[in-house]
Amino acid sequence: MEGVLGDAMKLDLAYGDIFFSENPQSLGKVINFFQTVKAPDDESSATHSGIIQSPYGKTIEAVWKITEQDLYEAYKGVRVCVMRWRYMTELRYGMGMGEIRGHLGESYPYFRLLLHAVGLAKYVHWRTPVCSELTAKFLMGAGERKNWWGWTPDALYDSIYKNREWDLVHEGVL
């Protein structure tokens, strides 16, 4: 669904929904360039991802540090795609959160972006994940995938967007 949400309109969000966004800033443009070069489909639009923690838009994501934010405040005026895994349950959500909750407050691992750019992030690991790895780690804990290191926002988006186990909740500008 394309469009712009009015101030009174809220999305039908659920615990464990995943969101993707475009980062129009310089870092987002650099991420997008490297993702496009490496993408099998020669396209890249998602440069950030995170997890929805409540129907009210509370998120957990890796920005300047791994933190919680409000989706509506942080992404107002930004194009966002929200996806829902059909098999997400309260138990699976709890298991996924158990995998990532310990990362809260950690500084963003900017050095890992270089590993992603040269294709080594899947093989060289440190403790703290970038945004898409945090999202993939949550999904791994919930039982949706088998690994989490090395995922870029675009690769994660591509693996979810056309997957029949996932439903589109929203696609458009908040």
Domains within the chain, CATH numbers bracketed: 18-173 (3.90.1720.10)
State how far the Cα of 23 lies from the Cα of 130, in Å rounded to an integer: 14
Q: What is the pLDDT of residue 68?
A: 97
Q: What is the pLDDT of residue 43?
A: 59
Q: What is the pLDDT of residue 116?
A: 73
| Residue ranges for the chain with pLDDT beneath 70 | 1-9, 23-44
Contact 125, 167 (CB under 8 A): no
Tokens matching residue 89: 């349950």
Q: What is the pLDDT of residue 37?
A: 43
The DSSP result for 38-68, as a single string, is H-TTS-----EEEEE-STT-EEEEESSBEEE
- Burial of residue 90, with CB atoms counted within 10 A of its CB: 0-12 exposed, 13-18 middle, 19 or more buried: exposed
Residue located via tokens 């993408």: 39
Residue 123 has φ and ψ, to the nearest 5°, of -110, -25
Q: Is this structure's pTM higher than 0.75? A: yes
Nearest alpha-carbon partner for 115 in 151, 160, 153: 151
State how far the Cα of 73 lies from the Cα of 75, in Å rounded to an integer: 6
Q: What is the pLDDT of residue 169?
A: 96
State how far the Cα of 16 lies from the Cα of 55, in Å rounded to an integer: 9
